[in-house]
Structure 1
């Protein structure tokens, strides 16, 4: 019911994840990232404990491949799970259990990996990876371009209803956590529109947290 990608910006070290599904609020259950550590997508009959577990393992020194192997050992009902991880070096690893739903597959490239289940075709994750590698600019924009490429390749077999994009970079909190938890329109388009609004203000939101005296205002009383 889901397709996603995890990625690293080789220039900045920023990590990001984008995901979409026919299920509601997919990013709330499936998207995990930690600055300086990596990003993890945990999907397909989701176990929300697996994302934090993989990040903890990578924070303690494991690479993505070793972390995913430990997730396989420790996770319950792992044959139903699909977990994607990228580490601080840009290495990726994927576990797709044999009980993943419908058409499911995965793809990997430099600093990026994609996986999905209940897909319209088995070419969707590769289209996502290719879309990311063909893009340039800010990681957030590249994640959206990749998801749009996956959608153009067929996306999920059923209608999409939710999407999310998560970015982490240097500070302990996400610098962007954009979500469309339910829509009868295209949730990837909704996230794209949100990114167009949020991107010009991203640095200002970080600056407000670090030192609000130096942060610009956008002219709204009580602007948060």
Structure 2
């Protein structure tokens, strides 16, 4: 019912799962990940216990292949299961039970595993693999999405499309550094869920991505004047507390607080402010 990829970043600091299926809310069932521990996908006739059990084994240093072997060996329903696991190092591992509906299978390599069942054919997993291996220049969440998108374009679930999800974890990578969920997005019921997932990831990146220090611009001179005028146009005029306070106030309303940097401005924030404000004379 599903195809997925589990993977870790080249530096081992991020782990994630991307999944798509002709199944309602696959993201509620398939993925699990823990920062600096690993990630897994349980699918086909999913055994939800695999998620907690698999992460517990990975936490103790068990290799991905041994996690898969241990979980399926202890499960009398293993012939109907599919499982992908990746740990903090080494190859990922994949299991496809012999009773999974065709086409079903998986592949794995250093830091990744891709698997699927009820697929249009083996070309789906080939496409996931090739996109993952060829996407090393992309940010990790976008790389996972690119692999999922490639599988979807290769035919995906032969029954059609319904849901997709993306889960990425990084130690203190979540909102304001208070959690480990860097990205946790789900499309539960949609005619084109992978495309919709991409739209959500774009919004997520705009709102919650960290500013690139190399691109920050100093809020001085004509730029400061422009930003002040734009803020006034959107109802956040610069007051006695200064430009930084007005920008932070507006950024909080727009959910851009993760991108606000005192004394400077992220081009992403500036572009959004320019789009949001009515035309003003800068």
TM-score by length of structure 2 reads 0.71
Deviation per CA, 1:163-199, whole angstroms, max 9, x where unpaired?
Answer: 000000013532211000001x210001100000101
SS in 2 for 1:99: coil
1:149 paired with 2:182, answer no
1:197 paired with 2:225, answer no
Note the C-alpha offset of 1:84.
Answer: 0.4
Is the contact made by 2:120 and 2:155 (CA closer than 8 Å) also made in structure 1? Answer: yes
Q: Name the structure 2 match of 1:22.
A: 22
1:180 paired with 2:187, answer yes
Is the contact made by 1:19 and 1:163 (CA closer than 8 Å) also made in structure 2? Answer: yes
Distance across 1 between alignment mates of 2:92 and 2:102? 23
Distance across 1 between alignment mates of 2:255 and 2:144? 31
Correspondences of 1:158-173 after superposition (within 5 Å): 158-171=159-172, 173=180
Is the contact made by 2:208 and 2:256 (CA closer than 8 Å) also made in structure 1? Answer: no
Deviation per CA, 1:93-130, whole angstroms, max 9, x where unpaired?
Answer: 11111111121011223322100000001121121011
Distance across 2 between alignment mates of 1:143 and 1:30? 15
Note the C-alpha offset of 1:137.
Answer: 1.9
Correspondences of 1:4-15 after superposition (within 5 Å): 4-11=4-11, 13-15=13-15
Query: Structure 2, unaligned stretches of length 5 or more?
Result: 173-178, 211-247, 258-282
Distance across 1 between alignment mates of 2:37 and 2:209? 21
Q: Name the structure 2 match of 1:77.
A: 77
Task: Go from structure 1 to structure 2 and tell me whether the alpha carbon gap of 1:220 and 1:178 turns closer, same or farther (over 3 Å shift).
Answer: same
Q: Name the structure 1 match of 2:253.
A: 220
Note the C-alpha offset of 1:223.
Answer: 8.4
Rg comparison, structure with higher value: 2
TM-score by length of structure 1 reads 0.89
Deviation per CA, 1:136-180, whole angstroms, max 9, x where unpaired?
Answer: 221110011111111121111011100000000013532211000
Distance across 1 between alignment mates of 2:126 and 2:254? 46
Is the contact made by 1:41 and 1:84 (CA closer than 8 Å) also made in structure 2? Answer: yes
SS in 2 for 1:120: coil
Distance across 2 between alignment mates of 1:33 and 1:167? 7
Q: Name the structure 1 match of 2:227.
A: none
Query: Structure 1, unaligned stretches of length 5 or more?
Result: 205-215
Note the C-alpha offset of 1:31.
Answer: 0.5
SS in 1 for 2:13: coil
Distance across 1 between alignment mates of 2:57 and 2:134? 31
Backbone CA RMSD of aligned residues? 1.9
Q: Which has the higher contact order (CA 8 A, sep 6+)?
A: 1
SS in 2 for 1:11: coil
Distance across 1 between alignment mates of 2:256 and 2:112? 35
